[in-house]
Amino acid sequence: MDLSPEARELFAEEMAAKFLATVDPEGRPNVALIVTLQPPPDGRKDRLIFGEFLMWRSKEYLANNPRVGVGCVNTKLKMVTLTGDFRGFERTGPYKEAIDSTPLMRYNAYSGVRAAGVIDVREVGEVRKASFLSIPLDLAVLRLKGRDGLPAGVNMPRLVSEKFTMLTSIKGLAVVGEDGYPRVIPVLSVVKKGEGLLAFRATAYNRELEQVRIPCPAAMTLVTMDAKSYKVKGELLSTGKRFFALRVAEVYNAMPPRVGERIVPPE
């Protein structure tokens, strides 16, 4: 399926938050911040490419299950999500050269990409935009909402929970659909409810949340304006109509040089 010109422009933005969801061998979702996701240089409208760069778990899961979900949110809170099929890595050629030539790869402090991953687009959602004013309003509503007797999750480090509840951090929630494809659902407003519970709600920009069959395994990662990133995994629960909570079971570091290291419980 072809990406619209507006969606292609979003993925071409270097400063946009870009998330890749995969499925682990147990059928649970994984999600990672993949900053190199972009349209290919050959102009194909039904394809995205990305660099194999600091993505050990995602690469492992792709080898066993090619189904992926992708989400992109730019600095103006314009966003789009899609599903696709991973077609493999290309270690040479124009795709890898295109990623190597981007400023993000030319000037990073670690290493270049080993290969270019290829995703054929299967289904694309509509391009949406969230209001900056809606974020503090959603936070106020969420703070008034109780936890409705939900069981506690693990004790998240304070630094991690602060990042997930930051007004300016962008979060990508991953779940697995009934068709076996993972979905990325953008989340902007999150509050902490007791120990190990991250609460949020479905609004106009992420109304797909209301279609998710609850409870289910879920994962969420984030990115901040200063390029900090963490990931949590656990169970997505309902706390009422359009209200949800992620009961956190695992916490991961998602920043180099220790990408993928589990913080809680310790590995």
* Chain centre to alpha carbon of residue 42: 26
Asked if residue 96 lies in contact with residue 113, where contact means CB atoms within 8 angstroms, the answer is: yes
- Residue 167 pLDDT > 70, yes or no? yes
* Residue 118 near residue 79, CB atoms below 8 Å: no
Q: How confident is the model at residue 106 (pLDDT cuts 50, 70, 90)?
A: low
Q: Is the pLDDT of residue 124 over 80?
A: yes
Nearest residue to 60 (alpha-carbon basis) of 112, 22, 110, 33: 22
235 has a pLDDT exceeding 70: yes
Same domain, 119 and 134: no
Confidence check: pLDDT of 251 > 60: yes
Residues 252 and 234 in one domain: yes
Beta strands in the chain, from DSSP E residues, in sequence order: 17-23, 29-33, 47-51, 67-73, 78-90, 116-124, 128-129, 170-176, 182-187, 191-192, 197-201, 216-223, 230-240, 243-253, 262-264
Give the pLDDT score at 103: 75
Q: Tell me, what DSSP letter sits at residue 258?
A: S
pLDDT at 107: 57
For residue 32, what are its two tokens? Answer: 């990672």
Q: Which one of 78, 95, 124 terminates a domain?
A: 124
Judge if 115 and 23 occupy the same domain: yes
pLDDT at 114: 84
Q: How far apart are CA 255 and CA 247, in angstroms?
A: 22
> At 108, is the pLDDT very low, low, confident or very high (cuts 50, 70, 90)?
low
Cα–Cα distance, 210 to 97 (Å, whole number): 41
Contact (Cβ atoms closer than 8 angstroms) between residue 148 and residue 193? no
Shared domain check, 83 and 114: yes
Q: Are residues 42 and 69 in the same domain?
A: yes
Picking from 73, 95, 124, the residue at the C-terminal end of a domain is 124
The candidate with the shortest Cα–Cα distance to 70, out of 39, 27, 106, is 39
The per-residue pLDDT for 110 is 55
Are 196 and 165 in a shared domain?
yes
The closest of 194, 211, 205 to 151, measured between CA atoms, is 194
Domain, as residue range, for 75? 5-124
pLDDT the model gives residue 54: 76
pLDDT at 60: 95
CATH number at residue 71: 2.30.110.10
Q: Which residues contact 213 (CB under 8 A, 6 or more apart)?
A: 178
Co-location of 108 and 195 in the same domain: no
Worst-scoring range by mean pLDDT, 177-186, 226-235, 238-247, 252-261?
252-261
User: What average pLDDT score do residues 92-96 get?
Assistant: 96
Beta-carbon count within 10 A of 188 CB: 23
- What pTM does this model have? 0.95
pLDDT in tens, 9-47: 999 999 999 999 999 999 999 999 999 999 999 999 999
SS3 state at 65 = coil
Are 23 and 119 contained in the same domain?
Answer: yes
Number of structural domains (the chain) is 2
CB 154 within 8 A of CB 196: yes
Is the separation of the CB atoms in 245 and 196 below 8 Å?
no
143 and 20 in a common domain: no
Max CA separation in the chain (angstroms): 55
Q: Give yes or no: residues 40 and 96 share one domain.
A: yes
Last residue of a domain, one of 124, 153, 171: 124
**Percent of the chain at pLDDT above 90?**
84
Whether residue 50 is found in the same domain as residue 107: yes
194 vs 172, which has greater pLDDT?
Answer: 172
pLDDT (tens digit per residue) in 51-84? 998 788 999 999 999 999 999 999 999 999 999 9
Residues 234 and 134 reside in one and the same domain? yes
pLDDT category at 267 given cuts 50, 70, 90 is confident
